[in-house]
């Protein structure tokens, strides 16, 4: 149902992401989507809470994010991404820009990152 709603979004889909380490030492990346549905209502949905395997690098986080966006088939709808000030998030956005350009979508990492 979420995938169908996201696919009919009237707006770009904006994201909030955060990476943290759980008490049992798992690195978890949360990805929340924010969008306007086909009826004009504002919505938010938790798309994923994924374990990041390996180092907590921006590249690894981006790889996970891109996998989720592809699973929901919303690569063409990525809007802004809200993140904290961790330096790895700069790298995340740089890799997201590259991934989007390779997929044929215009994306400017500096314009689309919110703090």
Run means of pLDDT, 10 residues per run, the chain, 115 residues = 93 96 93 96 97 90 97 97 94 97 96 94
Supply the pLDDT for residue 78. Answer: 97
Element (H, E) at 4: helix 2-7
Q: Is the pTM of this model over 0.85?
A: yes
Supply the pLDDT for residue 96. Answer: 98
- Structural domains in the chain, CATH included, are 2-114 (3.30.420)
- Whole-number Cα distances in Å, 21 to 15, 27, 104, 110: 20, 4, 34, 26
Distance CA 60, CA 42 (A): 30
Supply the pLDDT for residue 17. Answer: 97
């Amino acid at each position: 149902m979420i995938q169908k709603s996201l696919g009919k979004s009237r707006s770009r889909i904006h994201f909030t992401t955060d990476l943290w380490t759980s008490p049992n030492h798992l690195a978890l990346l949360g990805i929340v989507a924010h969008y306007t549905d086909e009826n004009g209502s504002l919505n938010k949905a938790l798309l994923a809470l994924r374990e990041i395997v390996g180092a907590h690098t921006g590249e690894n986080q981006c790889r996970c994010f891109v996998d989720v966006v592809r699973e929901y088939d919303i690569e063409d709808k990525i809007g802004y991404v809200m993140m904290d000030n961790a330096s790895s998030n700069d790298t995340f956005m740089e890799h997201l820009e590259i991934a989007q350009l390779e997929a044929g979508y215009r994306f400017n990492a500096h314009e689309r990152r919110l703090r």
